[in-house]
Structure 1
Amino acid sequence: MHFIPEALDDYVVAHTEDEPELLQQLTRETFQKILQPRMLSGHYQGRLLSMISKIVNPKSILEIGTYTGYSALCLAEGLQEHGVLHTIDINEELVDFQRKYFDMSPYGAQIHQHLGDATEIIPELDLTYDLVFIDADKPNYVNYFHLIVERLNKGGILLSDNVLWSGKVIQQVKEDDLSTLALLEYNKLLKEDKRIETVLLPIRDGLTISRKL
């Protein structure tokens, strides 16, 4: 999804840090073998995730929605030396694919995979986080927020992906469009919750940055 002309978007990408070779390889294999490859964060957003993580320099990261592991590897670039990243996904078929690329990176030992329903797994982890990235099933975004907001350390960052949902958030919404309805509720929640401050960035499919007060 592009919210600026494609030629200008190409210019933006061309003047952004190069995509690491390992992530280029992961992208190629995802497009060759995995359904819905457009779910990848991709070069530009991946470099943004990496930059934010490096600025935060987190000791602990939680990612909800692993897919093939691209965004986890980007976020891991900012981890402290003994930091950890916990990533949750419900798709059993992707576990080995993810692990292969995690172990090919310098961060393999720091990345912990969890398979199953994130609403059940998050309470079991009993951890707090400096950085959280939500990029999973949209109808559960509000539930994920309520599960993690008190586990987000003071000054910690919550990143929420796909919050513009291909522009559907400003269109007439059908009653059965549960994902768009959920995102409208979620975006309102992030704006109004007094525990955080929020900026919504109109890049790719929309990325919100929220900071715990």
Structure 2
Amino acid sequence: MSYFEEKHPEMDRYLENHASLEPEILKKLRRETFQKTTQPHMISGYQQGRLLSIISKMLSPKNILEIGTFTGYATLCLADGLSDDGKITTLDVNEDLAYLPKKYFAESKFSSQIDFKIQDAKEFLKNTDEIFDLVFIDADKENYAEYFRLIKPKTKSGSVVLFDNVLWYGKVLDENPKQKSTQIIKELNDLVAQDEDFDNLILPLRDGVNFLRRK
């Protein structure tokens, strides 16, 4: 839940009521996430899920990378726009929770196009030669700046990169934050804004999405 949702729940309900319908498999996944995980707020959720789906459909990507699978909600939204011969690689390090996304990936129509890996994202990025059309990062915030540095060489002109939680409950407005995660998120936002190889905009959706497009 974001700062905005806490302060304006009526507006949040209005936004959800005026978005395209959530697919049934995502409703089930969202419900089970709240029933079986200790931090269900980490799920991308309805509004952000619709955004990811629309962006993916606009790009019709052949190769998607997701860092931070959690229960797989965003994965299925991103897969929604995959080209017929496309794939999405989704990375996480939580083996205990892996059963949940695996269950829903197997049930989905994208089962053959999803490559779910229990692997450290930095290790993956340092060892892959793949180039990605679409990248979504919603993982450990203290590595956000490093993810950006590692991901940049894995993109091409037209590639889209999305970083979640970049407003960090408004903490990015703190001039001298003590929390490491806040410091790194502020560093990421500065790096992106100063990088002339990307166009970007921070969308104030939920907890903020930094939306980048490689020039």
Please say whether Structure 1 and Structure 2 have the same fold, judged by a TM-score greater than 0.5.
yes
Deviations 1:69-90 (A, max 9, x none): 0000000001000101001101
> What is residue 3 of structure 1 aligned with on the other side?
4
Identity %, equivalent residues: 47
Q: Which TM-score applies when normalising by structure 2?
A: 0.95
Bigger shift: 141-150 or 67-76? Answer: 141-150
Alpha-carbon offset, residue 113 of structure 1: 1.0
> Could you tell me which amino acid in structure 1 is paired with residue 199 of structure 2?
E
Alpha-carbon offset, residue 122 of structure 1: 1.8
How far apart in 2 are the matches of 1:152 and 1:95? 27
- The answer to whether 1:108 aligns with 2:111 is yes
SS of alignment partner, residue 22 of structure 2: coil
> What is residue 19 of structure 1 aligned with on the other side?
22
> Could you tell me which amino acid in structure 1 is paired with residue 67 of structure 2?
I
1:77 corresponds, among 65, 69, 80, to: 80
In structure 1, stretches of 5+ residues that fail to align are none
> Could you tell me which amino acid in structure 1 is paired with residue 73 of structure 2?
Y
In structure 2, stretches of 5+ residues that fail to align are none
Residues 165 and 206 in structure 1, CA contact (< 8 A), matched pair in contact too = yes
> What is residue 138 of structure 1 aligned with on the other side?
141
How far apart in 1 are the matches of 2:3 and 2:181? 20
When the two chains are superposed, the root-mean-square deviation of aligned CA atoms in Å is 1.1
Alpha-carbon offset, residue 153 of structure 1: 1.9
Residues 3 and 170 in structure 2, CA contact (< 8 A), matched pair in contact too = no
How far apart in 2 are the matches of 1:13 and 1:2? 17
Q: Which TM-score applies when normalising by structure 1?
A: 0.96
How far apart in 2 are the matches of 1:160 and 1:36? 19
Paired residue total: 212
How far apart in 2 are the matches of 1:2 and 1:70? 21
Deviations 1:81-127 (A, max 9, x none): 01010011010112221111001111011000111211011222320
Alpha-carbon offset, residue 2 of structure 1: 4.3
Residues 2 and 203 in structure 1, CA contact (< 8 A), matched pair in contact too = no
- The answer to whether 1:45 aligns with 2:30 is no
2:212 corresponds, among 207, 210, 213, to: 210
> What is residue 152 of structure 2 aligned with on the other side?
149
